[in-house]
Amino acid sequence: DTAVSQTPKYLVTQMGNDKSIKCEQNLGHDTMYWYKQDSKKFLKIMFSYNNKELIINETVPNRFSPKSPDKAHLNLHINSLELGDSAVYFCASSQGSLSNQPQHFGDGTRLSIL
Amino acid sequence: AQSVTQLDSQVPVFEEAPVELRCNYSSSVSVYLFWYVQYPNQGLQLLLKYLSGSTLVESINGFEAEFNKSQTSFHLRKPSVHISDTAEYFCAVRPYSGAGSYQLTFGKGTKLSVIP
């Protein structure tokens, strides 16, 4: 029973393409996140949604557009992919505004741009 | 704003030896502290957290971390490591409240390699 699941696990595509990554959580959480982990393993928050409302939007190019159809899903669509987008993207979820609650992470989507 | 510094990017240690992974943080507000572990090709898993109370917190697999407010540190220790502890370890902080309380700020990670 996967708590936070992301698809696909691996994504290899060419520069200029548009791709989406899907994330679903079955923990009943109301807050979901996207993180980017670069080649040096550094993790940085990209977006956060609470009850389907965007609450964090870090300095991410507007080619990245998150979409939350409901509290259990947060998808990430990327337009016009660039070489620098190659990274591992992690989805996470937590119980909302309670900052003492840990975040639960998916296994990541490894995006490689050719 | 918060920042987290993990002083060692790589720590090699022999099996059954003790280990300490160092973490220091900087924040203008009070924060909760977390250690996450990432095994190869997997996502992050919570290892332990400090919220309040006793400054020494323990995990179920033998790790412990001590919160030191005066030194703004949250070092992770294990008295005897096992091969299966080989992984990347991330220290993270999250403010008690405010807009920033929705996000974790991570350190750059420490790769622990246990040598047989």
Phi first, then psi, for residue A86 (nearest 5°) are -60, 125
Which residues of chain A make contact with B27, given a CB cutoff of 8 A? none
What's the pLDDT tens digit per position in B35-55?
Answer: 999 998 888 999 999 988 888
Cα A64 to Cα A17, A50, B89: the distances in Å are 13, 18, 28
B101/A41 CB distance under 8 A: no
**Residue of B106 and B52 predicted with greater confidence:** B106
Query: Letter for the amino acid at B56?
Result: L
* B3 interfaces chain A, CB cutoff of 8 Å: no
**A64-70 vs B24-27, strand pairing mode:** unpaired
Query: Letter for the amino acid at B11?
Result: V
- Reply yes or no on whether the pLDDT at A101 is more than 70: yes
* B90 interfaces chain A, CB cutoff of 8 Å: yes
Which residues of chain B make contact with A48, given a CB cutoff of 8 A? 102-103
CA distance B21 to chain A (A): 16
Percent of chain B with pLDDT over 70: 97
Encoding tokens for residue B67?
A: 């919160």
Whole-angstrom distance, CA of residue A11 vs CA of residue B53: 44
Sign of CA dihedral A59, A84, A53, A56: negative
Q: How confident is the model at residue A100 (pLDDT cuts 50, 70, 90)?
A: confident
Q: How confident is the model at residue B99 (pLDDT cuts 50, 70, 90)?
A: low
The shortest CB-CB distance from B106 to any of A4, A31, A43 is to A43
Chain centroid to Cα B31, Å, comes to 14
CB B28 within 8 A of CB B13: no
What's the pLDDT tens digit per position in A46-95?
Answer: 988 888 888 777 778 899 999 999 999 999 999 999 999 999 999 999 98
